[in-house]
Amino acid sequence: MSEPFTVRQIAEWVGGRAVGDAGVTLRGVASIGDAGPEDVTFAADAKRAAGLRESRAGAAIVAEPLDAAAMPLVQVDDVQAAVAEVLRRLAPPETLPPAGIDPTASVAEDADVAADAIVGPGVVVAPGATIGAGAVLMARAVVGARAVIGPESRLDAGAVVRHGCVIGTRVRIGSNSVIGSEGYGYYVADRAPRRVPHAGNVEIDDDVEIGACSCVDRAKFGSTRIGAGTKVDNLVQIAHNVQIGRGCLLTAQVGIAGSARLGDGVVAGGSSGVRDNIALGDGVRLAAFCAVAADVPDGQVVSGIPAIDARDHRRIVAAWNKLPELVKRVRQLETKLNARDFSEDG
Amino acid sequence: MSEPFTVRQIAEWVGGRAVGDAGVTLRGVASIGDAGPEDVTFAADAKRAAGLRESRAGAAIVAEPLDAAAMPLVQVDDVQAAVAEVLRRLAPPETLPPAGIDPTASVAEDADVAADAIVGPGVVVAPGATIGAGAVLMARAVVGARAVIGPESRLDAGAVVRHGCVIGTRVRIGSNSVIGSEGYGYYVADRAPRRVPHAGNVEIDDDVEIGACSCVDRAKFGSTRIGAGTKVDNLVQIAHNVQIGRGCLLTAQVGIAGSARLGDGVVAGGSSGVRDNIALGDGVRLAAFCAVAADVPDGQVVSGIPAIDARDHRRIVAAWNKLPELVKRVRQLETKLNARDFSEDG
Amino acid sequence: MSEPFTVRQIAEWVGGRAVGDAGVTLRGVASIGDAGPEDVTFAADAKRAAGLRESRAGAAIVAEPLDAAAMPLVQVDDVQAAVAEVLRRLAPPETLPPAGIDPTASVAEDADVAADAIVGPGVVVAPGATIGAGAVLMARAVVGARAVIGPESRLDAGAVVRHGCVIGTRVRIGSNSVIGSEGYGYYVADRAPRRVPHAGNVEIDDDVEIGACSCVDRAKFGSTRIGAGTKVDNLVQIAHNVQIGRGCLLTAQVGIAGSARLGDGVVAGGSSGVRDNIALGDGVRLAAFCAVAADVPDGQVVSGIPAIDARDHRRIVAAWNKLPELVKRVRQLETKLNARDFSEDG
């Protein structure tokens, strides 16, 4: 798929040290188990490096020198960063539409679109919207009235940023995601649910990335906020008035309910959830499939439904797995004690 | 963002009684903790009203007179309804496309589009579809062949209503949601799954609201139905032939499997699920993250995976949290009894 | 909705044997409970057939002769296949756009579009893409640069297949689903998450069907793969580098994390999840709402969070339901033993 490259080139790309035959030619990147003679593989630590002996890979990127390895190596300080750099070189250049407004796009007369922005086929930009310098709106993206897309930000095909939302710089919003959907708020009058109007918006800070088919609801008042550098996966729900800190990682199918507040560097495992109005401190980690129903202090790791400290949870699950046996042991104790009662009574 | 307003104006808007300096000027709405001197806040009950003493808010909407409050008040019967009314006044007027068919829309010749309906940029209306009076189709919405969008209903940007589905009056369908997706039904022949054709449709009754990126599958035969006034959040799955009653609330990431039947006023917490062919009575409430695998009678509150009565579940979880301790206690009993056996045997 | 048909016609359509009055006229299909005099219903087994006595249905499709039935019957070998055939006859013919490129579509000059393919209104086909013979791109579908849509495959309204992805023959991708979204991969440098470029693509084999609002991420390197005949429901997440076998069934809201490998014929219940790098053997079945965190051998059925063997899980849940009672029994044992200690000490 991509041009062949040598071990020497890898070393140059990543600022590493080539060990062994630096002229070996490669064509791709693959995991230790899948790699063939034309792939470079990688081992981030000594444990994984042990697997290199049985790998068919043509070369490997490693953190420490491995004298016994049967293949050329590129030694680096940060294996993950080096692999990312190689992938950057190998990724086929994406074909973007040309800068300017595609003739099939529909752009309001009073929208402010930077001259070098890309407005792709079928894109809709509503009145009063602003599209920053170098921004990219892929096919059929929609930008609502008075919304702002910051410089170098990108909406993938079908993404929707609704009216009044403000997107920072270098933000990426995946295909068919929706920013600024109505918050889910109802009150009951005459025994029927009535909509609470949502007068607020969504503000997304610089370098945030959001995957595909995710939703961020607009605030009831003020803003739903996502802090700089936070990365959100696919099919994630972020409700009205949620406040998310910087550098958080929210993986697929996570749900954050209304007005919850996440500190910086929070990591939420797949399908985990946070109840409304809950506060998570900095560096909190949620195990996959956990449901947080109470505040969590800085740095705590939680697990379970409802979520508790992960170490406690591990102990409880271990005991839970032996529950039928425990029931049996209690029955034996009862039998024993009753028998004794009987014998003593007799 | 919005024009300033006074305490006196709030009282007029909501039909309440101003207490204190009614001339105080405000600019926004905020929660008790976040409000500043230019915000009106609100307290729905006495407990929350206690927090007003430490709030920096410029004014508050309350249900009962609070003599000690340091700020002007607006006293009302229903705080939530009053806040909703204030938000309605403050919400920036949404910029809708003009009535009529946008030149970039694609409308089939034989589609029946009301003269005052809004058909926005990039919208597609297929043959035989009907768009009612005052309906709004935002950018890039799609209406399939012979589908009906009732009067004053609205499809947000990118929403899809597929062929033959019938949408009532004042219904709202959020961005990138899909109504009438194929039901997930397969039978096995020659050891491979074969599609069961879905000859039915989806019928959505008046005043239903559906969030973003939610899916309602078409029926195998007959209709998948959502009753009047039901409100559905984002990323919700409603499978083929499901029957949902009136005034239900289904929050984000809920999943209702095939042919399940929900009564009126059912409330489903976030990420909860209902197995196929299950019946939930009127007023049933599902806790967040619960999985219902058996019928639930009217009014019951259930929790857990699998879901059971919520009070039973609470007791079980309390015991579950102490499971490692229970294991220890059983071990002590065993030790004690064995030691005694030994001493008695001796 | 559809033309009336007779019991005789049903028997012809499905290759079955009419029993009783074959001239009875029907108009629809319905379940035993819902069917009226103009519906044909069906009973796949003897247990369900017992319900026919109280059904108001006009006729029934059954597997075994039922002498006592009060209605005409059509007897067949495979009831599900017969019902599917009847539904195929009754399903209203879908109104597809005409073959060729709709004037509102945006198709790159160098895209290779088969002459008989349907490219509907508002569709976008990027440079270098290939659209096979008889393929159908419904309204507003997007095909990225160099992507391949195989013969007779179909993208429903709003579906997105991103650059470089390869879709086989007779594949169906539901509305607003996204194929080839960026994989969720980050490494930390200077204390901030950095994107790992995703140089790979997605390859979807023949006869795969994917529902609405589902996401399949592109691979970091190589391909994320879905094997022939696999059927995926709505709102499902399939992460980067996942490898899915043939004939699998993934129901709604399932999540498969990065590099997980599923064998052939795996069935995943609603909202179940699989951790990254996990391997599931052939024929593995996941209960709804289970979370798999370890490899599962061929044919095993698992349940729970974390998932364990389903029979073990059933026993544990049964004990778990009686946990408060168990705590009470342990307390009684303690009291009894303490009382005895006391009496013996005295």
Predicted confidence at residue C345, as pLDDT, reads 54
Q: Mark which residues 213-272 of B lie under 8 Å from A by CB.
A: 213, 229, 231, 233-235, 247, 249, 251-253, 270-271
Give pLDDT, residue B342: 64
Structure token pair of residue C67: 């002498």
User: Which of B120, B252, B320 is opposite residue A184, by nearest beta carbon?
Assistant: B252
Contact A252 C237 (CB under 8 A): yes
ipTM of the complex: 0.94
Query: What confidence score (pLDDT) does residue C346 get?
Result: 44
pLDDT at residue C239 greater than cutoff 60? yes
Contact A326 B326 (CB under 8 A): yes
**Is the CB of residue C274 less than 8 Å from the CB of residue C289?**
no
The per-residue pLDDT for range C98-139, each reduced to its tens digit, is 999 999 999 999 999 999 999 999 999 999 999 999 999 999
* Residue B49 main-chain phi, psi, to 5 deg: -60, -30
Would you say C272 and C287 are in contact if contact means Cβ atoms under 8 Å apart?
A: yes
pLDDT level of residue A65 (50, 70, 90 thresholds): confident
Pairwise CA distance, residues A84 & A89, whole Å: 9
The answer to whether B288 contacts A308, with C-beta atoms less than 8 Å apart, is no
Comparing C-alpha atoms, which of A179, A258, A172 is closest to residue B157?
Answer: A179
| Contacting residues of C for B273, CB less than 8 Å apart | 253, 270-271, 288-289
Please report how the helices B310-321 and B323-345 are oriented relative to each other, as an axis angle in degrees rounded to 10. 60
A167 touches chain C (CB under 8 A): no
Tell me if chain B has a CB within 8 Å of the CB of A316.
yes
Give the pLDDT of residue C343: 66
Q: Are A122 and C140 within 8 A, CB to CB?
A: yes
CA torsion through residues C206, C208, C213, C216, sign: negative
For the cut 90, the answer to whether the pLDDT of residue A131 exceeds it is: yes
Helix (H, G, I), strand (E, B) or coil at A29: strand
Best of A118, A137, A234, A313 to disrupt the C interface (most C CBs within 10 Å) is: A234
pLDDT of residue A346: 44
Q: Least CB-CB distance to A247: which of C178, C192, C259?
A: C192
Query: Measured between beta carbons, which residues in chain C are less than 8 angstroms from residue B124?
Result: 120-122, 139-140, 157
pLDDT value at residue A87: 94
Cis amide prior to B93 (ω within 30 degrees):
no
Looking at CA atoms only, how far is residue B221 from chain A in angstroms? Answer: 29
CA distance linking residue C159 with residue C216, whole number of Å: 12
Q: In terms of Cα–Cα distance, which of C77, C105, C172 is closest to C134?
A: C172
What pLDDT, on the 0 to 100 scale, is given for residue B94?
83
Q: Give the distance from residue A213's alpha carbon to the nearest chain C alpha carbon, in angstroms.
A: 7
Q: Do B87 and A220 touch (CB under 8 A)?
A: yes
| Model pLDDT, residue B346 | 44
What pLDDT score does C225 carry? 98
Taking contacts as CB-CB distances below 8 angstroms, the residues of chain B near A306 are: 317
- Across the interface, of B140, B164, B257, the residue whose CB is closest to C270 is B257
* Catalytic machinery residues of C: 240
- DSSP for B51-66? GGGG---SEEEESS--
| For residue A289, pLDDT beyond 80 | yes
Domains of chain A: 5-90 (3.40.1390.10), 177-310 (2.160.10.10)
Burial of residue C233 (CB within 10 Å: 0-12, 13-18, 19+) is buried
CB contact under 8 A, A158 and C178: yes
- pTM value is 0.95
Find the closest chain A residue to B92 by CA distance.
Answer: A199
The Cα A208–Cα C193 span in angstroms is: 10
Mutate to test the interface with A, among C119, C123, C142 (most CBs of A within 10 A): C142
Nearest to B160 among C120, C176, C288 (CB): C176
What integer is the mean pLDDT of C15-22? 94
Among partner residues B157, B271, B334, which is closest to A333 by beta-carbon distance?
Answer: B334
The chain-wide mean pLDDT, for chain A, equals 94
CB contact under 8 A, C199 and A305: no
Q: Is the pLDDT of residue C67 over 70?
A: no
pLDDT at A102: 97
CB contact under 8 A, A320 and B317: no
Determine whether the interchain pair A157/C158 forms a contact, defined as Cβ–Cβ distance below 8 Å.
no
Q: Environment class of residue C67 by beta-carbon count within 10 Å: exposed (0-12), middle (13-18) or buried (19+)?
A: exposed
Percent of chain C with pLDDT over 70: 97
Rg (CA), chain A: 27
Query: CB contact, 8 Å: A300 with chain C?
Result: no
Task: Look up tokens 């709804």; give the residue.
Answer: C288
Q: How far apart are CA A167 and CA A151, in angstroms?
A: 9
Give contacts of C213 with chain B, Cβ < 8 Å. 176-178, 213-215, 235
Cβ separation of C259 and A320 shorter than 8 Å? no
- pLDDT-derived band at A48 (thresholds 50, 70, 90) equals confident
Amino acid at A89: R
Across residues A260-268, what is the average pLDDT?
98
- Name the residue facing C291 among A102, A212, A289 (closest C-beta): A289
A253: nearest CB among C122, C255, C319: C255
Q: How far is CA C64 from CA A135, B40, C17, in A?
A: 66, 71, 11
- Mutation to test the A interface, candidates B31, B152, B176, B313, most A Cβ within 10 Å: B176
Q: Does A84 touch chain C (CB under 8 A)?
A: yes
Annotated active-site positions of B, please?
A: 240
In this complex, is the C-beta atom of A335 within 8 Å of any C-beta atom belonging to chain C?
no
Sole residue written with tokens 């919700």: B236
Cβ distance C162 to A176 less than 8 Å, yes or no, reads no
- CA–CA distances in Å: residue C313 to residues A317, B316, C155, C302, C306: 12, 16, 40, 8, 10
What's the half-sphere exposure (Cβ side, CA atoms, 13 Å) at A66? 27
Q: Are B145 and B127 in contact (CB under 8 A)?
A: yes
Residue A69 has pLDDT above 90, yes or no: no
Distance from CA of C187 to the nearest CA of A (A): 6
Q: Give the residue on A whose Cα is nearest the Cα of C200.
A: A91
C173-193 pLDDT, tens per residue? 999 999 999 999 999 888 889
DSSP assignments along B226-243, one per residue: E-TT-EE-TT-EE-TT-E
Q: What is the pLDDT along chain B (346 residues), one digit of tens a residue?
A: 468 999 999 999 999 999 999 999 999 999 998 999 999 999 988 888 888 888 999 999 999 877 666 799 999 999 999 999 999 998 877 889 999 999 999 999 999 999 999 999 999 999 999 999 999 999 999 999 999 999 999 999 999 999 999 999 999 999 999 999 999 999 988 888 999 999 999 999 999 999 999 999 999 999 999 999 999 999 999 999 999 999 999 999 999 999 999 999 999 999 999 999 999 999 999 999 999 999 999 999 999 999 999 999 999 999 999 999 999 999 999 998 888 766 655 4
Cα distance from N-terminal residue to C-terminal residue, chain A = 88
Residues of chain A contacting residue C158, judged by C-beta atoms under 8 Å apart? 158, 176
Which of C41, C303, C326, C327 has the highest number of chain B CBs within 10 A, making it the mutation to test binding with B? C327
Q: Which residues in A lie closer than 8 A to residue C255 (C-beta atoms)?
A: 235, 252-253, 270-271
